[in-house]
Each structure stands twice: as C-alpha cells, then as structure tokens.
C-alpha cells in the first residue's frame, strides 16, 4: 500500500516563489486602520484586493449591531438552522432579503460557499447543468456533488451555450449556472443572452450574485437588476462577505424551491447556523445598501478611475465598469514578482493562480472600494506603472 498522505506536497512552483521571496498567500493583516488601508509586515499599505466594495466591514453601525447581537444572543448558535440554530434574526433577514432580491423566499446559511453548495439538492440525476467556464468553484463543487451531468461552456459564449442546450435530451431538465459579475475578471454575465436561450429551451437560470448584490443596479439588487432582467433569474445566491461587509450567505428563489432546500440541502442541514453578530451585521448592511446609493456611486467612480488609468498604462481591460480588474502576468513567478513589487510600493493586491483561475493563467487582481479616494486610486496606478517598468506583464 502507498501512504495516502504522500500526495501532500506543495507544487514545486511554490518552492520557487518562496526561494524568490515572493510567496503571496496567507499574508497576515495586522491592523485595519480603515480608510482603504491595512497594516501588513508592520507597514501601512493600500488595500487593493478586498471585496468589501461598499467599505461596510468597518462601518460603526455594523459593528454596533454585531456587538449588541453578540451580547444578547451569544457568540454562536451551536446547532443547525433545522434544529436549535434558527434565530428570529435569521428569519427577519430572510424576509428582508427576499423582498430586496425580488424573490418569494430566501434561506440564510453561514457562508457564500455554503449557499452555492446548498444548491446541489436541486441538481437531480435527470438534470443537465450548463456552467460558464468562469463560474465560481463553489458552484462547480455543488454541481459535482449532485448526480446531474455537468457540461461547461466557454466564458459568456452564447453560441456554445445554445449548442449545449440544443443537445439536452428532451426528458432531461436543464439549468444554466453563472455568476452575475464574475469574480476574477470583474466582467458581467451576458444575462440577456442567457435569459433568451433559457426561455427558448425551457431551462432554469441559477445565478451567483456574490459580487454584484449590493453593488449593481439602481437599487443595488445586482446584475439582474442592472440588466432589467430580475424575472429571468430563477434562483440567486448571495454572500455577505463582500458588499455586506461581514460573513454569511443566502439562496433566494420561489418559495417551494427554498422550502425544499431547507429540508433537503445537506450543506444547510448538517452545519451550524450563522452566528448572531454576523446575522445582525448583515441585516444592518442591507438597510445601508437600500438607503445609501451614494456608496455604490463612490465605488463605481473609483472603479472607473482605476480602469481608465490602467487602459492609459496600456493594459487591455475589458469593458464592464466594476471595481475588480485582473492583469495577465504570463507565469506564476512573474505574477508573484509583480505582487511583491506592488507591496514594496505600498499596495496590497491579490494573486490568482489555478485552481482560482482556469487553465494556467496567472493574474494580479486589483479591486477598489467606496473607501478609496481618487488620490488613493492614483497611488495604486502609480504603483502598477512603477512595477510594470521592472516586471513585464502581458498588456494585450
């Protein structure tokens, strides 16, 4: 017999990164002074890799709501939603989310990953799942856990989606899986295309709005609202770890589907519920998202400044207007050198390597939030320009 642990080795490429002093993962944040900055390695740097788009994680109202709930209800619920772990707070949040997202009902779970995993109860043996190649790992994991067949289409390629839908056997059910705003590139799903094809073929649409709920659309309801196509999305998942500034997730959709998930989704049934502090913070965040559209305007204007600045530096940035962009770097070592260079310049970005990105891509992911001033965005751009002069990224 071989030792099953013999596979537990880090990729060789990671050794090269460590040897070059540019290993970029698990870097501890020591302080969060706010204002778009964090302290790492004893130095204040600009945070340009956070999904806290509306800068709510630092909002005193969320902190107070969380602290009050923690004191009143405790640090955790010690049980699953189905048994002893449901709070009236969870139910209140579910009602508000369902109204906000324009669905009949919602189910709150403990992370966005878990919200997507919970969807696997929808994926039966007779179903065919058609997933965008850039769909998040948690959607793909949900698909793999279920008994449905998984077929992937090239990113936003409506021609290939049409072919795959045409090939679905008449006795099978078809579900399209996509993100509303894609997490890596920050581009939007071609929802008009998806909606048209799904309607033509009688397919259901499941959309992960982890990045767009709270950010896009006039009311902040996400990519579906942005496209004016809310009714085209049958089931939507969201996370509270991005625009909501805390932790947790939810699935929203028709009442009978959500009730079914409450009783059949193993990811939801067999895991402890969202702690009081996060639940109260998410509910407070939802109120702020509804009442303060200026936060969306602030982050989208910082996004515009970042994007146009990167284009001026010669990077090919796809249209989209969202706060997240990725720069292609060729290989992992170049990418991590670029990351380390940015950090030296006082900017903390994200490195995206497989399996976070498809194929062998190596990307620097930059994002801005409502806390970033125009001057800070310009500092990010100046850092990118300075590092690009030493470490050659791919620009076209």
**Rounded CA separation 131/326 (Å):** 21
Rounded distance between C-alpha atoms, residue 205 and residue 178, angstroms: 8
List the interface residues with ligand PLP, window 142-201 (CB under 6 A): 179, 183
Report the candidate in 18, 114, 65, 17 with the shortest Cα–Cα distance to residue 245: 65
Residue 323 makes contact with ligand PLP by CB under 6 A? no
- Residues 101 and 86: their CA atoms lie apart, in Å, by 21
CB of 177 to ligand PLP, least distance (A): 11
Beta strands at 127-132 and 173-179: parallel, antiparallel or unpaired = parallel
Residue 134 designated active-site: no
Give the bridge partners for 38, in sequence order: 45
Q: Which is nearer to ligand PLP, 284 or 350 (CB)?
A: 350
112 binds ligand PLP (CB under 6 A): yes
Cβ closest to ligand PLP, residue 113 vs residue 153: 113
Note whether 37 binds ligand PLP by CB under 6 A: no
Rounded Cα distance, 98 and 100, in Å: 5
Backbone angles phi, psi at 369, to 5 degrees: -130, 175
Distance, CA of 302 to CA of 198 (rounded, Å): 35
Strand partners, 153: 132
Tell me whether residue 103 or residue 305 sits nearer to ligand PLP (CB atom). Answer: 103
Active site residue 179: yes
Residues 199-238: x/- map of binding to ligand PLP (CB under 6 A)? ---------x-xx---------------------------
Question: Nearest 5°: CA angle at 109, between 55 and 80?
Answer: 140
**Does residue 116 have an active-site annotation?**
no
Decide: is 138 part of the binding site for ligand PLP (CB under 6 A).
yes
Nearer to ligand PLP, 183 or 322 (CB): 183
Task: Work out whether 326 is an interface residue with ligand PLP (CB under 6 A).
Answer: no
Residue 185 to residues 26, 137, 182, 317, 319, Cα–Cα distance (Å): 22, 15, 6, 9, 10
- 132 lies in the binding site for ligand PLP (CB under 6 A): no
Among 77, 239, 334, 367, binds ligand PLP (CB under 6 A): 239
Q: Using the minimum distance from each CB to ligand PLP, give the nearer residue, 81 or 136.
A: 136
Which residues contact ligand PLP by CB under 6 A?
111-113, 116, 136, 138, 179, 183, 208, 210-211, 239, 241, 249
- What residues are labeled active site? 51, 136, 179, 183, 208, 211, 242
């Amino acid at each position: 017999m071989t030792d099953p642990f013999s596979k537990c080795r880090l990729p060789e490429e990671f050794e090269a990164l460590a040897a070059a002093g540019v290993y970029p993962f698990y870097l501890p944040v020591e302080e969060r002074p706010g204002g778009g900055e964090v302290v790492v390695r004893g130095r204040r740097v600009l945070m340009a890799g956070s999904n806290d788009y509306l800068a709510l994680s630092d909002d005193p109202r969320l902190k107070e709501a969380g602290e009050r709930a923690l004191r009143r209800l405790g640090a955790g619920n010690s049980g699953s939603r189905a048994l002893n772990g449901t709070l009236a707070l969870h139910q209140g949040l579910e009602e508000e989310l369902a109204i906000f997202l324009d669905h009949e009902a919602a189910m709150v779970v403990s992370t966005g990953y878990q919200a997507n995993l919970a969807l696997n109860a929808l994926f039966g043996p007779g179903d065919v799942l058609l997933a965008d190649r850039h769909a998040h790992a948690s959607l793909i994991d949900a698909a793999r856990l279920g008994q449905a067949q998984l077929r992937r289409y090239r990113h936003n390629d409506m021609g290939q989606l049409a072919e795959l839908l045409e090939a679905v056997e008449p006795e099978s059910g078809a579900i399209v899986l996509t993100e509303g705003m894609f997490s890596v590139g920050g581009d939007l799903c071609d929802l008009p295309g998806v909606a048209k094809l799904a309607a033509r073929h009688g397919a259901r649409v499941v959309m992960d709005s982890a990045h767009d709920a709270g950010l896009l659309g006039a009311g902040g309801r996400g990519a579906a609202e942005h496209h004016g196509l809310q009714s085209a999305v049958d089931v939507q998942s969201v996370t509270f770890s991005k625009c909501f500034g805390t932790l947790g997730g939810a699935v929203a959709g028709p009442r009978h589907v959500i009730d079914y998930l409450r009783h059949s989704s193993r990811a939801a049934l067999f895991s402890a519920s969202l702690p009081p502090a996060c639940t109260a913070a998410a509910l407070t965040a939802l109120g702020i998202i509804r009442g303060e559209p200026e936060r969306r305007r602030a982050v989208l204007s910082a996004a515009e400044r970042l994007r146009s600045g990167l284009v001026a530096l010669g990077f090919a940035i796809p249209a989209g207007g969202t706060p997240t962009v990725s720069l292609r770097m060729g290989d992992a070592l170049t990418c991590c050198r670029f990351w380390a260079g940015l950090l030296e310049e006082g900017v903390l970005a994200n490195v995206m390597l497989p399996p976070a990105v498809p194929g062998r891509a190596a990307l620097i992911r930059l994002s801005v939030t409502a806390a970033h001033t125009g001057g800070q965005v310009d500092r990010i751009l100046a850092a990118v320009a300075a590092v690009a002069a030493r470490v050659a990224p791919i620009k076209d």
